[in-house]
């Protein structure tokens, strides 16, 4: 998949929203690719591990499917847990392990080996190597190469949602941004420094590749486990991206999510929230963010939370060795000017 774009882009009308610069996210047509029946929106979702991407995407994809959209959800996290909520906690065979097993048996991977469906949502997991036994980023690349062999370019979806781990800086996890594999990205974060640090890094990556001629923009931020303190909302305002929705830190949501229950069903208590999110995801244009420097990111929080008032104290050599040293004068000979 060297220097090869996995998807064709979709044209968005240039607009300005929340201070961000709207992008023309179209990717030049490749004559070798067949014409798609639908204008597929490819959206990559990033966030800190454990922030709730899988929970958000399972419920979002389910709601979009009930609204009549054809959805493909692809888990791109080595933990392979993107689809667990969607399938009631059941593990989904990954593309990487299935491909390896089939190769040893001299067989080819088929769609039914790696793609599964529920109530209109189609889903699959790329997978990844075990700890210490391979590169997760390389696994992502291999996974997408397999998707191409399975005919990814000919598939007919309204939306393809890619769930990416955001707190890994390996190039494989940055493929959607670096290679224009998607038209836009979203970030999932909460009101904590670590998740906003990851969100800011994603915005920095988008800005960097945009300067290199890329077309990907940020559609916005989803605030999960929102406790109302406002740091994530303030971050979005300063960076120049919209808040797509805020999912409250509610015990009912936590309990149902823990029992692998879909709450994004039409008619449910939380249906309006995910219905609004589905609408915003569909219409939000990709914008060029303005990532924060480290000090500005810290300034989103009070000093007693981040310890910002601490002053750096330089260490001495004696601190490290436990032995006091006298400074020796240089033996360098300095001649007076003639």
CATH number at residue 188: 3.40.50.300
Tell me, what DSSP letter sits at residue 185? E
Query: How much is the pTM?
Result: 0.79
**Residue 328 in domain:** no
Cα(22)–Cα(13) distance, rounded to whole angstroms?
Answer: 8
**Residue 335 in domain:** no
**Residue 243 in domain:** yes
Compute CA 191 distance to the chain's CA centroid, rounded to the nearest angstrom: 17
User: What confidence score (pLDDT) does residue 311 get?
Assistant: 78
Cα(302)–Cα(310) distance, rounded to whole angstroms?
Answer: 13
> Is 53 one of the annotated active-site residues of the chain?
yes
**Residue 292 in domain:** yes
> Is 329 one of the annotated active-site residues of the chain?
no
pLDDT along the chain (338 residues), means of 10: 38 38 41 52 91 93 96 84 86 85 88 92 80 62 81 90 76 76 93 94 92 93 96 96 96 93 93 96 94 90 68 86 76 68
Name the active-site residue from 113, 167, 192, 237: 167
User: Which range marks the domain in which residue 228 is found?
Assistant: 16-311
What's the number of domains the chain is made of?
1
**Residue 332 in domain:** no
**Residue 251 in domain:** yes
Q: Where are the alpha helices (DSSP H) in the chain?
A: 53-66, 95-104, 111-114, 136-149, 175-178, 193-211, 231-239, 251-258, 271-283, 294-298, 303-306, 317-321
Q: Which of 140, 145, 142 is nearest to 162 (CA)?
A: 140
Phi, psi angles (nearest 5°) of residue 125: -120, 130
**Residue 42 in domain:** yes
User: What confidence score (pLDDT) does residue 295 get?
Assistant: 86
325 to each of 160, 315, 316, how far by Cα in Å?
Answer: 64, 14, 10
Cα(19)–Cα(39) distance, rounded to whole angstroms?
Answer: 27
Cα(134)–Cα(113) distance, rounded to whole angstroms?
Answer: 23
Half-sphere exposure (CA, 13 Å, Cβ side) for 145?
12
Cα(141)–Cα(205) distance, rounded to whole angstroms?
Answer: 18
Q: Which of 256, 266, 271, 265 is nearest to 85 (CA)?
A: 256
164: part of which helix (H) or strand (E)?
Answer: strand 159-165
Cα(203)–Cα(212) distance, rounded to whole angstroms?
Answer: 15
> Is 237 one of the annotated active-site residues of the chain?
no
Cα(175)–Cα(147) distance, rounded to whole angstroms?
Answer: 14
Q: Give the pairing of strands 287-288 and 20-22.
A: antiparallel
> Is 48 one of the annotated active-site residues of the chain?
yes
Q: Which two tokens stand for residue 336?
A: 């007076």
Name the active-site residue from 36, 79, 117, 233: 79
């Amino acid at each position: 998949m060297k220097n090869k774009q996995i998807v064709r882009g979709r044209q968005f009308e240039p607009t300005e929203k929340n201070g961000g610069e709207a992008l023309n996210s179209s990717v030049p047509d490749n004559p070798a690719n067949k014409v798609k029946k639908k204008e597929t929106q490819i959206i990559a979702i990033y966030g800190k591990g454990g922030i709730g991407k899988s929970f958000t995407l399972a419920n979002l994809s389910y709601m979009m499917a009930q609204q009549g959209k054809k959805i493909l959800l692809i888990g791109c996290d080595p933990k392979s847990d993107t689809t667990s909520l969607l399938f009631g906690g059941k593990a989904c065979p990954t593309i990487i392990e299935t491909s390896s097993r089939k190769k040893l048996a001299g067989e080819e991977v088929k769609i039914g080996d790696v793609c599964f469906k529920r109530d209109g949502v189609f889903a699959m997991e790329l997978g990844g190597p075990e700890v210490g036994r391979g590169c997760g980023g390389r696994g992502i690349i291999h996974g997408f190469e397999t998707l191409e062999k399975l005919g990814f370019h000919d598939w007919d979806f309204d939306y393809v949602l890619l769930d990416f781990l955001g707190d890994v800086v390996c190039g494989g996890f940055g493929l959607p941004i670096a290679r224009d594999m998607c038209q836009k990205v979203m970030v999932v974060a909460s009101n904590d420094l670590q998740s906003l640090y990851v969100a800011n890094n994603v915005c920095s990556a988008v800005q960097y590749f945009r300067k290199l001629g890329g077309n990907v923009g940020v559609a916005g931020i989803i605030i999960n486990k929102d406790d109302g303190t406002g740091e994530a909302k303030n971050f979005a305002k300063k960076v120049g991206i919209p808040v797509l929705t805020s999912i409250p830190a509610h015990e009912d949501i936590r309990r149902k999510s823990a029992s692998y229950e879909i709450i994004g069903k039409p008619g449910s208590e939380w249906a309006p929230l995910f219905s609004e999110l589905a609408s915003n995801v569909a219409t939000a244009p990709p914008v060029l963010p303005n990532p924060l420097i480290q000090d500005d990111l810290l300034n989103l929080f009070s000093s007693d939370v981040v310890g910002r008032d601490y002053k750096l104290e330089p260490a001495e050599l004696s601190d490290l060795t436990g032995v006091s040293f006298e400074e020796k004068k240089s033996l360098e000979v300095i001649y007076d000017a003639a």
